[in-house]
Structure 1
Amino acid sequence: MTISDLPGTRDDERRRDEHDFDPVRPGETFTSAHEEFRQLRQRHDGLARSQEYDGFWAAVGYDEVLQVITDIEHFTTRKQNAVPKFAFTGVRPPLHLDPPEHTAYRRVINRFFTPPRMRALEPHVREAAVSLLDPLLSERWIDVCKQYAHRFPAYVFAKFFNLDVATSELIKNVSGTYVDAIQVLDHDTVKSLSGRLYEIAQGIIDERVAGDFDPEEDLTAGLLAARHEGEPLPAAMILGCVRQLIVTGMVAPSVFTGNMFVHLSRDPGLQDALRADPSLIPAAVEEMLRLYSPYRGMARTAREDVVLAGQLIRKDDPIALVYTSANRDEKVFPDGERFILDRENIQRHIAFGRGTHSCPGAPLARMMMCITLEEALARTASWRLTDEPEMAIWAEWGTRSVPLDFVRA
């Protein structure tokens, strides 16, 4: 369909004034957002509208999300890459850049997530998981989010980025407060904490400049050594890239880890099956990634007037990419609201995005989730929820608090 085939401008403007859903509605539960997104997919053909955050479109259908993230000719990540907009303090490659500008940074980052590097990192990830889980399981009653999921990424990233654990935990604490401020539109705190994260990133860079770090073994040193068209990458862009990298992997693993524990607490049969045959854990994690995708506020901006799902999207309109909804779209995933181990087309899920800006850290995230379940299941006979989970609010979807009763094996 071309723009000239669309209904008249009056219909277009009426649609823009509608308010299909409220992303900041209080009282969200573990199931309420998915129920709402299912209804939005059915009623609005994959594209919903909200008047919150100054008004935005929300791609809630699989095909609509996939079209936006793969059509870099019509949709850009430069102007607004999240709803609500919170990038007030500089450009942070590669997320804030489109090809070809982003490619030099992505090329360096990709080198550090290869299968051989992940295999080398695996013993350290497992050691971190065990060191955190063992004392907790002895307590029996724990909050798996606050006592494990919020801490685990800091230990992993300390090893991955060649940082001491204290620095990594500082990043985790600052980034957690930063995300909380984004969710309530506290722009002053967002700017202040973003500045603090830049200071930490600059300290990491200064340490590499002063020290003897191998650019083949250290990601920050790799960025400093990289050349694009014969020239070093700009210092401000390297700073922005490190600033982006040290935060990106901290939030999503935290909320998703809690999601896994909630799901398994509600399905003791699956718990037992995974304990009996741990080789099933990777497939179970993959299906849970589809079912509980943590991103719903990542965004793109229309470069020009463009048609999406039969709707005219105006130039500069922001579009939220609701992966949380798209991965349950029944048009692509039959019985999409239900967990199905070894789902036939599971490889089509887009929990980590697709194309230019797909998550480079996906192999590490998968490893972290699989190891967490392997070690937790091996050390327990069962676990159950002792209260309702506390949920994150837009822009992430997932748990902030999951109180559990563990029975140790």
Structure 2
Amino acid sequence: MPADFDVPPGEDADAAHRTWTQLRARCPVAHTDALGGFWALTRHADVARVAADHTRYTTTVQNVVPKVAFTGRRPPLHLDPPDQTPYRAALNPLLSAERVARLAPAVRAIVAEAWAPLIARGGGDLCGEFSARFPVRVFGHWMNLDGALEAQLMQSGPAFIQAVQAFDTDAMRGTSLVLYDMARTLVAARRADPRPADEDPVSALLATRVDGQPLPDEMVVGTVRQVLVVGIVAPMVMVGSIGRHLAQHPELHDQLRAQPALRPAAVEEFLRLYTPYRGFARTPRSDVELGGRPIRAGEPLALTYASANRDEAVFDDPHTFRLDRPNIGEHLAFGRGAHYCAGAHLARLELAVALDALVDGCARITLDGEARWCPYPEIGPYALPVRLQADAARGTVATAGTVTPAA
């Protein structure tokens, strides 16, 4: 069939949103031959309906566009209920709102440490030197990694992400296998020296029983492998998008600095406006019709969350940042249904603390070069050169909730 749209190389975020705006108006369920061929769902209603219906649309065949899982099954993302359920049941309590709130002091300390070198130098790569680094340490803290494994993750996690961004299948396999080796090391360590299941995700998985039997060894390893990197990319991209927006809208920087009570609303609006995913996938189990288009069983569907969250039918003036958006709770940044992001509370905490650093940590953010943009499945910058202006008037720089001498 003729392609409805193309995915041009080097596509930036603004170009993608222009394409989706056109598709929502003329062809909301659109096919492309790019990236192996897939259907893109661009309207909020279609994305929400398919995301919530795991009985008709499965994640077990392909979970992102382009297809990048070559090295094994990785619960819970790669499974549907009921197979997914015991893995989510093990991890969800460790990612509850109450549990995540207890992590706040550690997250603030980690973000402050990552932010300090940039403000001391007066700038740098906001993504590569800040938002690509602190989420690794946050996950390392949450997973109780020792120093050696955390240092290895700091190298291996970004290496895998770079391979995915380049769509280098050989590098994806190689870097993924390194992460699998890390996962096996961690699982072996917890078998030898278990932690309380309510304090440690690996121990929680090992303690889980289904009909009296433990979870399969390789599925536990796959889950740990998934958890090692699943929370790294989205915060990197989101913080880059937030920093770019604040640089382009200094009046918002000033407003959020003067009125901290507005920041929770700002985080939600940033999540809507700059949703970092455009290619989470589902596969219909049988022939279906969506938006008047017949789709055969087995054809991949991209749930384009970033497009759905700018759907004019749901969000008034959707391309504009608005702190007073009345229906902000309808955004799909964390998905919908059984695969709703288990780490949503932790992600919100990380973004809130990072926003504090950006807003309180300098008087002004200025773009200092060209951004480099993520390809599918993410959308947003993975490199963002910036200059950071210290607050000379106060003589201090507030860094993630603390006050330190200005550079």
TM-score category (smaller protein): over 0.9
Q: Tell me the amino acid that sits aligned with residue 65 of structure 1.
A: V
- Greater shift, 383-392 or 147-156, is seen at 383-392
CA separation in 1, counterparts of 2:170 and 2:371?
A: 29
Question: Which of 311, 315, 320 lines up with 1:333 in the alignment?
Answer: 315
Alpha-carbon distance, 1:179 to partner? 2.7
Residue 331 of structure 2 is aligned to residue 345 of structure 1:
no
**Would you say 1:321 and 2:303 are equivalent positions?**
yes
Q: Is the 8 A contact 1:151 1:169 kept in 2?
A: no
- Tell whether the 8 Å contact from 1:305 to 1:313 is kept in structure 2 after alignment: yes
2:380 corresponds to 1:398:
yes
CA shift, 1:394, in A, is: 1.4
Secondary structure of 1:193's counterpart equals helix
> What residue identity is the alignment partner of 2:26?
R
Partner residue in 2 for 1:115? 97
Aligned to 1:12: none
- Greater Cα shift, 185-194 or 127-136: 185-194
CA distance in 1, matches of 2:128, 2:378: 16
Matches for 1:285-324 after TM superposition, within 5 Å? 285-324=267-306
SS in 2 for 1:86: coil
Give the C-alpha shift of residue 73 in structure 1.
Answer: 2.0
Q: Is the 8 A contact 1:59 1:321 kept in 2?
A: yes
The counterpart of 1:130, out of the listed 112, 133, 139, is 112
Show the counterpart of 1:145.
Answer: 127
SS in 2 for 1:307: strand
| Cα root mean square deviation, aligned | 1.3
1:32 aligns with 2:27: no
Answering whether residue 6 of structure 2 is matched by residue 22 of structure 1, we say yes
- 1:380 alignment partner, SS class: coil
User: 1:60 pairs with 15, 18, 42, which one?
Assistant: 42
Q: Which amino acid aligns with 1:288?
A: F
Q: Give matches, 1:6-405, under 5 Å.
A: 17-23=1-7, 25-44=8-27, 46-405=28-387
TM-score by length of 2: 0.93
Amino acid at match of 2:226: Q
Question: Residue 266 of structure 1: CA displacement?
Answer: 0.8
Contact 1:155 1:165 in 2 (8 A): no
Match of 2:240, SS state, is helix
Paired with 1:130 and 1:338, the residues of 2 have a C-alpha distance of 30
TM-score relative to the length of structure 1? 0.93
Distance in 2 (CA, whole Å) between partners of 1:29 and 1:59 is 19
Tell me the distance in 1 between the aligned counterparts of 2:271 and 2:115: 22
Following superposition, the deviation at residue 178 of structure 1 comes to 2.0
In the aligned structure 2, how far is the partner of 1:292 from the partner of 1:94?
25
Q: Deviations over 1:108-136 (max 9, x none)?
A: 11111112211110000000111111232
- Number of equivalences: 391
Q: CA deviation at 1:244?
A: 0.7
How many Å apart are 1:400 and its aligned residue?
1.2
Q: CA deviation at 1:169?
A: 4.1
- What stretches of structure 1 move > 3 A for 4+ residues in a row? none
One-letter amino acid of the structure 2 residue matched with residue 34 of structure 1: H
After superposition, the Cα gap between the structure-2 partners of 1:184 and 1:374, relative to the gap in structure 1 and judged at 3 Å, is closer
Instruction: Give secondary structure in 1 for the equivalent of 2:231.
Output: helix
Q: CA deviation at 1:18?
A: 2.0
C-alpha deviation, 1:241, in angstroms: 0.7
SS at match of 1:79: coil
1:70-96 C-alpha deviation (Å, 9 max, x unpaired): 112210000111111121211111111
**Contact 1:30–1:389, Cα closer than 8 Å, also in 2:** no
Give ranges in structure 1 of 5+ residues lacking alignment: 1-16
Any conservation in 1 of the 2:13–2:379 contact (CA below 8 Å)?
no
Native 8 Å contact 2:194 2:203 kept in 1:
no
The percent of aligned pairs where both chains have the same amino acid is: 43
Structure 1 pair 31–258 and aligned structure 2 pair: CA distance change class (3 A):
same
